[in-house]
Every structure is written in C-alpha cells, then in structure tokens.
Amino acid sequence: MFEQQSGRLSGDGFVRCSDGHVRWGVYGAAGVVFVVREDDGPKVMLQKRSQMAHEGGTWSCAGGALDQGEMPLEGALREASEEVGAVPGTPRVIGEYLFKPAVDWAYTTVVVEVDQRFGDSINFETDAVEWYAPDAVDALALHAGFASAWPHLRAIVESA
C-alpha cells in the first residue's frame, strides 16, 4: 500500500476476509453502473475487462478497491474516472446494491443516472466501453460478481 495524493492510504491489494475468501480491496470495493435515459428506454454503461484484469474478457461496471476512509460513491466515481473517463455533468444517485459476504469486507455498486453517454477505454483495465439496454445485458459474458448483482441492479435501473 502507498499513500495517494489525497492523503489516504490506497486500498489496492488482496485481503483474506473473515469468511476465508481472498478478495481485492483492503478496505472493501465499489463500482458504478451509469444509466442514461433515452427515447427507447434506459441504457447502462458496461466495460469489457482486459485480460490483465481479474476475469478478463468479461463485462462489468467500472470499479475497484476503496481507499482508506473513502465512501463507496466517492470510490466508485474515482475508479470510473480512472477506467472510463470523467463523468459529465452532475451524476444523480438512484440506488445502490450492497454485497457483504463477510463482516470485514463489502462491495457496493452504486447506480448513477447521467445526462449523456460517455466513456472510453483509457487504461489497461478496460478493453471496451459500451451502452446496453437492460435486456441485452443478460446475453453478455458477465464478470461473476456483476452477474450475481445484476438482477438487483436492473431492478433499480428499471424502477427509477
């Protein structure tokens, strides 16, 4: 771990959780599903993970390890800006889903509405960025964690 410019300790690294599993994110992790409302319905941004990332070649949302003391929304937006680019306008949180398999580790996925499509592959973790209708997501090769969370996230996207 190292100190970042924010003065916080980076959470990058693996940790053995209280349930015995090893997971990424010393202080937990967070991701963000961006949603844009279009005339033909909502679209969600997904990124195709590069072969250098865990479960490379699968689709997921932008995200990663939280830094020490970082809130999930803050960390998810930071990770997204590092992986897919700056978020335009004023993002609006419409919900979140918490995966907490152990008392000492959690992954929070925040669902955020934006005014326009954006995003590109800007670092080694991302091979592609695409916007999909919720119905199309089920047919993709999804990261296992995201696949488990998707039904909950889809309900948030469609109910907002």
Round to the nearest angstrom and report the end-to-end CA distance of the chain: 38
Q: How far apart are CA 129 and CA 49, in angstroms?
A: 9
Q: Which residues of the chain have pLDDT under 50?
A: 1-3
Q: How far apart are CA 151 and CA 35, in angstroms?
A: 15
Q: How far apart are CA 160 and CA 111, in angstroms?
A: 10
In the prediction, which pLDDT does 113 show?
A: 98
In the prediction, which pLDDT does 6 show?
A: 59
Q: How far apart are CA 19 and CA 145, in angstroms?
A: 16
Q: What is the pLDDT of residues 129-142, one digit of tens each?
A: 999 999 999 999 99
Domains of the chain: 14-159 (3.90.79.10)
